[in-house]
Structure 1
Amino acid sequence: MADNKLSVDADSASKSSGPIEGRVGVVVIGRNEGDRLVQCIDSLTLMGLPIVYVDSASTDGSPEAARSRGADVLDLDLATPFTAARARNEGFARLLSIAPNIDYIQFVDGDCEIEQGWIASATDFLDQRSDVAIVCGRRRERFPDASFYNKICDEEWNTAVGESEACGGDALMRKSSFVAVDGYNGGIIAGEEPELCSRMRTKNMRIWRIDQPMTVHDADMHHFRQWWLRAIRSGFGYAQVWWTTRKTGKALYSRELVRAILWALIIPLIAVVGGLFAPIFLLILPAIYMAQTARMAIKQGAFNKFSWKVAALNIAGKFGETLGIFRFVSRLLKGKQGGAIFYK
């Protein structure tokens, strides 16, 4: 469950369609986003919407920049471990204190710029679909060609439209639906959106992706170390969300956990143990990884160099994910929650 209780007087879904002013509020979260945060807030201020910016100990003047653009700024107390989920929950609570009558909340990460027309289109969609709790759209990278890693992120955002299992960090949510499930689970470090959506689906709420430009994201990822930390964060999130949802009958990320442990732990362990008796096992190990890399690359296009690079990176990423799984298990055994794993 969420780390704080949320309250609302009535389900606002019954209100008729109309202008977004007075009906939509925005929660932006960020940490040392610099110009990206400025672009994010500037894309929102002309709409006349209440904006809450939740800052997590930035040292680059982000809170001041947000205030100068009319945002209500909430500085998180980092005596409690930081998570994006906790930041969104606290931002939502602050938003309700200044705009209690809104119908919908637009959550957006501080490294994203809202596309023109998105909030109006998303609001109209939710007005027409009372069975939908969350609507999201198309996210794209601002500089997909700036680095190999940015391009990978741009490919990741190319997801199918229609009913979805989950949303990402950028999404428009129905206030009453968000409140009905007590918001995000504030202790989850990564994968908080799928966990939230899972609880919503148990209450017959639906999540939808529409074919509409939503946000422009700036991954700003240029080095292997950033990508590696992102893989560790993903593995930690897989394990934590699986542990949180394991008793629901629909545990999330089971497949991802099995794949990571298989490729980064079980296969190498079998090869090492087998090598003690027959050295050929150690020679077979590289062949196994090469064959898997080829299989993944060929599915995307045998003559596409980008596909081969992505396939090789995905295999390597299983080791980072497994390290993240071990980190979660270690924290669990020690009874420690810990804070977010940053890759920027």
Structure 2
Amino acid sequence: MDESAQDLVTTVVISHNGGESLIESMARHRGAVILVDNASTDGAPDAVAERYPDVRIVRLGSNLGAPARNIGVSMAGTPYVAFADDDSWWAPGALDRASEVFQAYPDVAAVAGRVVIEPDGRPDPICALMADSPLPARPDVGGRAIAGFLCFATVVRRDAFLGAGGFDDVVFFAGEEERLAIDLLSQGWELLYIPDVVAHHQPTAVRDRSRRRRLEERNRLLTAVMRRPWPVVIRTVGQALREAEGRGALVDALPRLPRAWRCRRPSSPLVERRRTELERSSGQSAESR
């Protein structure tokens, strides 16, 4: 490769009250870094500004959720953008490898990496789902076609990301990748899981896991309304009604349904067949998050 990842990739980090996790993880990033701060009140962005003067910091007046990443991508001056959260970072050489894939395969919009959970170094279970996906293997590139990804462990082609509209404020946060993945695939782009592109994740404790699951379920419902065929929407609603958590998610989704309806643009039949194949093989897999 003629150019290094430092010339080709910008890392966009979003944070909201990331605290020490943000401050410590920032030391691990290389090359151009843009921190988009979602109205933190813990002083962490000030500490980053003091310790890492080369980091460009965007301080938002309110918490925009996942769409805050769109601002960072629009500011990036490189053809590729690596995402990170305030508790994640990329392994040495990972972004060089992702850049090689993008340069060799101009139809690839996103490279999803293998996630190593710290501090014990165990693999994230989602990696097994992507590695064992029923979608075609890509031995030419050492990976596999996928239909979804984890944002903090993904590198995107900047123009493709912006062309697909980035993340939306209907979903806001948690499961925001699903609608974007559908749109990229519908536009003819490929998404690949490349296991030798490695991201590290040291997640902070989730204080209310039930609330997080309810939020993810709400967003799955909203994404279905925006992009899935009506039979899938009806099935998704039916599944939610079977459990108290799902019924709560339906209630939470109601105020956002008018916007989801206005954004409705069902995916192409080819993309829907791909998603159906995945769901049949592994149930409602984490890959659709």
TM interval, shorter chain, is: 0.7 to 0.9
Which residue number in structure 2 is paired with residue 338 of structure 1? none
2:13–2:33 Cα contact (<8 Å) kept: yes
| TM-score normalised according to structure 2 size | 0.75
SS of 2:7's equivalent in the other structure is: coil
Letter in 2 for 1:87: A
Aligned pair 1:124/2:104, yes or no? no
Please tell me the residue identity of whatever aligns with 2:72.
Answer: G
- Which residue pairs with 1:172 in the alignment? 155
2:250 maps to a residue whose letter is: I
- Unmatched runs of 5 consecutive residues or more in structure 2: 132-143, 261-289
Counterparts of 2:151 and 2:61 in 1: how far apart (Å)? Answer: 21
Partner of 1:5: none
Quote the residue 1:311 is aligned against: none
Give the match for residue 260 of structure 1. Answer: 240
1:17 CA displacement: 5.1
Residue 65 of structure 2 corresponds to residue 77 of structure 1: no
Distance in 2 of aligned mates of 1:110 and 1:87: 13
1:294-305 mapped onto 2 (5 Å cutoff): none
State which of 169, 193, 196 in structure 2 corresponds to 1:209: 193
Residue number in structure 1 paired with 2:269: none
TM-score (norm 1): 0.64
Alignment of 1:214-225 (within 5 A): 214-221=198-205, 223=207
Contact residue 113 and residue 197 of structure 2 kept, 8 A: yes
Matched, 1:240 2:225: no
Matched, 1:93 2:94: no
Aligned length: 244
Deviation at 1:139, TM superposition (A): 1.1
Residues 118-127 or 156-165, more deviating: 156-165
- Counterpart in the other structure of 1:332: 257
Which residue identity is paired with 2:220? Y
Q: 1:125 to 1:220 in 2, by over 3 A?
A: same
Aligned residues of 2:170 and 2:256 also touching (Cα < 8 A): no
Is contact 1:52–1:74 with CA below 8 Å preserved after alignment?
Answer: yes
Counterpart AA for 1:22: D
The amino acid that maps onto 1:220 is T
Q: 1:290-327: per-residue Cα shift (whole Å, max 9, x none)?
A: xxxxxxxxxxxxxxxxxxxxxxxxxxxxx323312221
Aligned partner of 1:185 in structure 2 is 168
Specify whether residues 160 and 203 from structure 1 end up closer, same or farther in structure 2 by C-alpha distance, changes over 3 A only: same
Q: How well do the aligned residues superpose, as a CA RMSD in angstroms?
A: 2.8
| Residue aligning to 1:159 | 129
Counterpart of 2:139 in structure 1 is none
| Aligned CA distance change for structure 1 residues 323 and 129 (closer, same or farther; 3 Å) | same
Superposed CA deviations along residues 182-217 of structure 1, whole A, max 9, x for unmatched, are 322233223221111111111110100111252222
Is 1:52 paired with 2:38? no
Q: What letter corresponds to residue 71 of structure 2 in structure 1?
A: E
Judged with a 3 Å threshold, the aligned counterparts in structure 2 of structure 1 residues 258 and 173 are, in CA distance, closer, same or farther, namely same
Q: 1:321 to 1:117 in 2, by over 3 A?
A: farther
| Separation in structure 1 between the aligned mates of residue 89 and residue 254 of structure 2, nearest angstrom | 36
C-alpha distance in 2 between matches for 1:93 and 1:129: 23
Distance 1:322 1:71, change over 3 A: farther
Return closer, same or farther for 1:257/1:113 CA change in 2, 3 Å cut-off: farther
Structure-2 separation of matches of 1:33 and 1:21: 25
Gaps of 5+ in 1: 1-15, 146-150, 265-318, 336-344
Could you tell me which amino acid in structure 1 is paired with residue 181 of structure 2? C
More strand per residue:
2
Residue 17 of structure 2 aligns to a residue in which SS? coil
